[in-house]
Amino acid sequence: MTVAAFINGIAVGGVAALLAVGISQIFTTSGVLNFAHAGFAMVAAYLYAWLAATEHWPVGWAALATVVIVSLLGTLAEWLVLRRLADAPFITKVIVTLGLYVFMQGATLQLFGFDPKKAPLLFHGGVSIGATVAAYQQLAILGAGLALMAGLALFLRATRLGLATRSCAQDRATAGLIGIPTRAVSSVNWTIGAFMAAVAGVLIAPLAVFTVDSFSIYLVTGIGAALFGGLTGLTGAFLGGLVLGVAQNWAIAESSQPGIWALAIFVAIAALLLLRRRWPWLLAAWAAYIVMLLPVVGIAHNGPQIAADRYTYLPCLPWAILLGGLVSVLWRRAWSIVVAAVAVGCLAWLTVGQIRVWRDAETLWTHALVTAPSAIAHSSLGVALDERGRPEEAIPHFRQALRVNPRLAHAENNWGIALAKQGRWEDAARHYEAALQIDPRYAEAHANLALALGRLGRYADAQRHLEQARAILLSRTR
């Protein structure tokens, strides 16, 4: 799966996660599995697009007005519809919420028309992750999801209304008997749920053209993620939404077969529910692996970002602990010795293969170009070949590095070094100068250019660049 597909998956999964957390919140307080929840996100997307694109409101005000209006719609739905069904059977409430979702689809089409919509971005620009750019709009979805989940957890634990909500979740009838206003608690939590759906709708609307049918898949993923969280676990619902979003975009990136993304979602939902029920320890290890890997995947970084084996050392610790626990439980069984021997043999074989990769710089960067090609890998392989006295093989890699990233000053400098070793001082000087155009404070390029200019008899220019190199290096030691 490409980085771009993963980032898109996180954005889509973030919407599913927001919906799943809202669904879980409403279920815990009112006992309603709310199939209309995606409808609030749909209304928010259409309303925001209309205010910002048609009515030309500033995007900030359009988003704020949308979230407020849709949150109040959640309150209105609880007052007019769900409150009247407080004593109705569970299946009746489900059917009513499905009907409410269909009603919201029809009302949306009548109000905003049948044409596909596209909303303007709330956040412009993005962050470079390798050769891919993660849009701030995409990152905002993940950030909003984490912030709202944390805020909701704080609300449930640190406020009187949150304590009342938890009491209603445990036993609604008993909570009413001790004086907790259960209807008011239900209204507040329906408003909170609609608020989270509105935020999801506003954030996802600018990322692609959408219709009312676009939100049906969010309904499926939101319900699936909420089920994974047990309909009461906010963290499980959030993580489940992210997994489903990544699974959907992985399927789209890997296959052009129509409908493959839907199959991937249903398979992922089935797998999540199976893991939760039968192998929670495996799911815990996987979640720990993802959490520890997040700081080094390049969502935010300063300087070049490459793939490296060392980034997985700490995240693999949960798997090692899990394996050790399994060995301690199973070591007395006869067949476990055979399994352990096979596992050790496989790990030893993989280790030998990895040692071959890390034998020297040439083998390492050749492997890197196969597994994760990048400008840095091309430039580094060129340096390794040049140091082995093969500049004619190194130069094509410097050229390819600059095709991938024309702003890579190191590649220009290294190309100049390879040319200098061939005695091509004029060509080398041009590449040193190109490196300095990219990074005027590149001390090594100044020194190398001084050497080339000296060989060409331009001693005054050479002295000037030597002095600049010296000044840059001295400034770094202060």
Enter the tokens of residue 321: 């602990």
Question: CB under 8 Å to 383, separation ≥6 — which residues?
Answer: 361, 394, 414
- What b/e sequence results for 214-252 when a residue is b if at least 16 CB atoms lie within 10 Å of its CB, and e otherwise? bbebbbbbbbbbbbbbebebbebbbbbbbbbbbbbbbbb
CA distance 271 to 329: 25
| Residues 50 and 63 sit within 8 Å (Cβ to Cβ) | no
Question: CB under 8 Å to 351, separation ≥6 — which residues?
Answer: none
Q: What is the pLDDT of residues 132-182, one digit of tens each?
A: 667 777 778 778 877 887 887 787 777 777 777 666 666 666 766 677 776
Give the range among 117-126, 178-187, 224-233, 390-399 with minimum mean pLDDT. Answer: 224-233
Q: What is the pLDDT of residues 439-452, one digit of tens each?
A: 888 889 988 889 88
pLDDT of residue 299: 46
3-278: CATH topology is: ABC transporter involved in vitamin B12 uptake, BtuC (1.10.3470)
Q: Where in the chain is the domain with CATH 1.25.40.10?
A: 363-477
Q: Which residues are bridge partners to 129 per DSSP?
A: 132
Helix (H) or strand (E) holding 95: helix 90-112
Residue type, 462: A
Is the domain spanning 363-477 CATH 1.25.40.10? The answer is yes
Q: Where in the chain is the domain with CATH 1.10.3470?
A: 3-278
Task: Write the DSSP string, 9-56.
Answer: HHHHHHHHHHHHHHHHHHHHHH----TTHHHHHHHHHHHHHIIIIIS-
| Residues 436 and 406 sit within 8 Å (Cβ to Cβ) | no
End-to-end alpha carbon distance in the chain:
45
